[in-house]
Amino acid sequence: MQKMRVVVVTVVVILSTGFCVLIIVSLIPYFSVIGRAATVVVIVLLACIATLMLSFTWSRIGVWSHRRHLLIAGDVVVYLDDSGKLLHLSAMHEQAKLPAPQQVTVKELPAPKEPTVDKETVLELYSHGNTLRTIAETTGLSYYQVQKITSGKD
């Protein structure tokens, strides 16, 4: 088993070495083209890095120029405008946190009218054969109130 493994590893190493030698020998005529391509890749990489450095420097200069106009004392931050006007940035920030006040209008409903019907009127209508619903509609009382009066529990 050990001998078989050694043979397999030897065969793989010989074949891979031969394949690598074949590739390298076949690329010899193209070394100049490969070198130019590698040079172009390096030049493009360096140009991208230079562009990133310039943009980073430009953004830092912008931040520094704006920071020159800031006055910071504890939690209070004020911005000095070009015209010399002070803008209270902390107050603006706190004001943005608060919800805008909403206008609320309250309409008061009129109090329900108290019916001025007494028990005798309800009982009289009931004795004439009117239904409880008819009595409630006529007198303005609720059906429950008419039912209580006519049953004698009120």
User: Helix 119-127 to helix 143-151 angle, to the nearest 10 degrees?
Assistant: 80
Q: Is the pLDDT of residue 154 over 70?
A: no
pTM of the shown model:
0.40
Residues 127/103, Cβ–Cβ less than 8 Å: no
CA distances from 135 to 31, 52, 69, 79, 124 (A): 113, 91, 82, 77, 10
pLDDT in tens, 142-152: 888 889 888 87
Q: At 116, is the pLDDT very low, low, confident or very high (cuts 50, 70, 90)?
A: confident
For the chain, which residues make up each domain, given as ranges? 11-68, 70-100, 119-151
pLDDT in tens, 26-78: 888 888 898 999 999 999 999 999 999 999 999 999 988 888 888 888 888 89
Helices in the chain by DSSP H: which ranges?
Answer: 2-27, 31-67, 89-97, 119-127, 132-139, 143-151
